[in-house]
A and B are shown apart, each in its own frame.
Chain A
Amino acid sequence: MTDVSLIARNLFRKKLRAALMIVSIMTAFLIFGVLVAFEHAFNAGEDLAAADRLMVVNKINFTQPLPYAYYERVKAVEGVRQVSHANWFGGYYQEPKNFLIVLAVEPESYLKIYDRELDVPDDARRAFLSERTGALVGEALAQDKGWKVGDRLPVSSTIYSQKNGGHVWEMTVVGIAKPAKPHIDSNFIVFHYDYFNETRSFGKDMIGWLVLTTTSPAVNDKVAKTVDAMFANSTAETATDTEKAFNKAFAAQFGNIALIVKLVVGAAFVTILMIVGNTMAMAVRERVREIAVLKTLGFPPARILRLILGESLLLALLGGLPGIGLAALAVAALREKLLNFIPGMVMTPDIAVLAVVLMLGLGLVTGIIPAFSAMRLNIASALGRS
């Protein structure tokens, strides 16, 4: 027998009670894991944004267009390494409710700028660049819809019309883009701006926004100021900011998701703190006589403290570890369902590490008071009770 087996025997002497505690801790960590993964995915745009990437949008609002000419002019700015541009297409497949994220882009520069995020095979890249009606489909979307290279897709727009009055653009899937990291969103289609621009009925030679990389993050500020100054007092003034700031501001538009997550997780933890803390205190009160006997046998105070704290820590881990495991399963299951709303939801190692830290914290907090009272227990008076 060891201290660990002594602790386990203590914990499981009332099996039902231990099982109930484990279930309640498990649900708290399930909620924690799922919500934090949700929040991380929600703010992934901010976390994954490249430090040297800037977004140039219309100063009125990013939904307002910019003239195509800005593309060439921004290219010439000192400190700019690469520039590309994109236009929101408002895509859907067959029915407006089958919403798709579709962008009309300048293919070559776009793939260069997102080189670190997207893993595009060489043949797919060549086919995309050469095929005017070619479309590159993100892996998650391709899997979801069952699309393969060579498929012809009629993609409709909620916004744009063709010159002939139709809303449908015919595209051919020429390649599948894989995300380079699990958090990266691959629920999208990109196709040629030229094809889009020449066929649409209005908005010709306008683009949605510019995205650029700088030669170094150190020149970001200078580049942003230069670009904005260049177009000041024109009909389309620009606002240039880092991709990170842009993504952060956009995510914030949905509301304070982080606060909501904190409140719910907080409520779940207050619940288990109260339940587990009280139960540990009760368990120790029931055992004062036994603790007194252990002390009589010569168990030193520190050892008694360790035995009780060990029990609450073991309980927290036995509830928390399966809880975070369940959360990982739940996140994997939700990943597909929430594809359109929050792509890239994953249980990351840092969430798991944070969970383990919280388990240890829970074990300490719920065990510390009973452990101290056990440690300070007066043997003579505890044995006197019968």
Chain B
Amino acid sequence: MRSLLLQIAATIKINLKSLPQRFWLSLSTVVAVGLVVVVLLSFLAMANGFRQAVKGSGSEDIAIVLRGGSRSELNSTISRDQIRLIEEAPGVARNAEGKPLVSAELYLVVDGLKRATGTKANLPLRGIGPMGAALRKSITLAQGRMFEPGSNEIVVGKGLLAEYRGFELGSTVKFGTTRWTVVGVFEAGGSVFESEIWADLPVVQSLFNRTNFFQTVRARLTGPQAIAALKRYNDEDPRLKLDVKTENEYFADQSSNTTDLIQKLGWPLAIAMAFGALAGALNTMYSSVAARTVEIATLRAIGFGAFPAFVGTLVESLVLSALGGVLGAGATFVFFHGLTASTLGESFTQVVFSFTLTPALALQGIVLALVVGLVGGLFPAIRAARLPIVAGLQG
């Protein structure tokens, strides 16, 4: 046993020491594997960043009410009567004065110019009532103040300000013929709300010709379990027949399509590229075995076993691919992690998010690299083990 271990250690050493002789070929394998990992991880970090932004936006104890079958806030319409019914619903929390914690809202799309490209993009303008801000978790004003009710003032999310032109504090923004002043910038923990513009509901209704028009209702629940009572109340009243969900559920739905799509693009691409890199790894390792024919045969002639020859080659391959995997993960972290991007979300408006590479994702990339190294080393290692000693010695 001890002898076998010593033999293995010796062959691994010989393999690794001979690496500089095949420097460029070995480097090309490392780079090829690294690029596979970069492609995979940048897609996964993109999907993850988007999911964190959208999915992380919801709360368990906030209910969101939409028209039946409307799927997103933009499509939904809700009547004033229905709002009144929800305000009286069981499970809806009330404040100290006994007023229900409910916010009826209007969700419109307005044009903004993307800083990076100068192209028009759909931005959400949300008309909210006095309860609106309180119904989102962790909203803080980073600059300025909240809009005054009844005035045409807006507050904008931090992400929106970063990605789109003209929303700096104090500036005037024109939507059609209406003019608005930016009086505040808010943070919302990186959630989708940071990609939104908020204004006073009655002002938005009147300036956009949507008097008495509401799209969604948010309600604070007395607790996460209260959603069941609210759902039952909605199902039993024929005047409602609305879609009632917790905000958590709603945003999970909103993120799943885009996240799935990005992952479904990233994995097949990375796997296809992995086949290309695998061909390169096999080629490198077969060359390594060919270059070491005499050494392997010499070791075999003086009594080394076939197994150490096998292990030495396999370890060389795994070392190269692990190096590629780690470099790829590192490069993804350096070049992509934290990169801000935006795309059209399910609500037909831009969602600003940042690429987020987690250790768990990086591990997936390194595992893919090691799979390439394992397969790429296995067959050459078998050849090394089966090398005929006499022919090998003749060179």
Q: How far apart are the CA atoms of A167 and B269 in the complex, in Å? A: 41
Which residues from chain B contact A253 at a C-beta distance below 8 Å?
A: 119, 121-122, 343-344, 350
Cβ of B261 under 8 Å from chain A: yes
Cβ–Cβ contact B280 & A90, under 8 A: no
Cβ of B108 under 8 Å from chain A: yes
Known contacts A61-B109, A90-B75, A271-B32, A252 near B117 by CB under 8 Å: yes
Cβ–Cβ contact B25 & A64, under 8 A: no
Cβ–Cβ contact A271 & B31, under 8 A: yes
Number of interface residues of A (CB under 8 A): 54
Cβ–Cβ contact B286 & A17, under 8 A: yes
A241 nearest CB across to chain B (Å) = 9
Number of interface residues of B (CB under 8 A): 56
B199 nearest CB across to chain A (Å) = 13
A18 nearest CB across to chain B (Å) = 10
Which residues from chain A contact B175 at a C-beta distance below 8 Å?
A: 60
Binds B, one of A27-35, A103-111, A216-224, A351-359: A27-35
Cβ of B65 under 8 Å from chain A: no
Cβ of A68 under 8 Å from chain B: no
Residues 31 to 55 of chain B near chain A (Cβ within 8 Å) = 31-32, 35-36, 38-39, 42
Residues 3 to 50 of chain B near chain A (Cβ within 8 Å) = 24-25, 27-29, 31-32, 35-36, 38-39, 42
Q: How far apart are the CA atoms of A231 and B350 in the complex, in Å? A: 28
Cβ–Cβ contact B39 & A267, under 8 A: yes
Residues 250 to 298 of chain B near chain A (Cβ within 8 Å) = 261, 269, 272-273, 275-277, 279-280, 282-283, 286-287
Cβ–Cβ contact A61 & B261, under 8 A: no
The count of A-to-B residue pairs whose CB atoms sit within 8 angstroms is 145
Cβ of B120 under 8 Å from chain A: yes
Known: A90-B75, A158-B69. 15 other contacts (CB 8 A): A21-B283, A23-B276, A24-B279, A60-B111, A92-B69, A158-B75, A159-B70, A161-B77, A264-B39, A267-B39, A271-B273, A274-B28, A275-B32, A282-B25, A341-B261
Q: Which residues of B contact A (CB under 8 A)?
A: 24-25, 27-29, 31-32, 35-36, 38-39, 42, 67-72, 74-75, 77, 108-111, 114, 117, 119-122, 175-177, 208-209, 213, 261, 269, 272-273, 275-277, 279-280, 282-283, 286-287, 341-344, 348, 350
Pull 10 A–B residue pairs with CB atoms less than 8 Å apart, ordered by A.
A21-B279, A61-B111, A63-B122, A64-B109, A90-B70, A92-B69, A161-B77, A235-B177, A271-B32, A282-B287
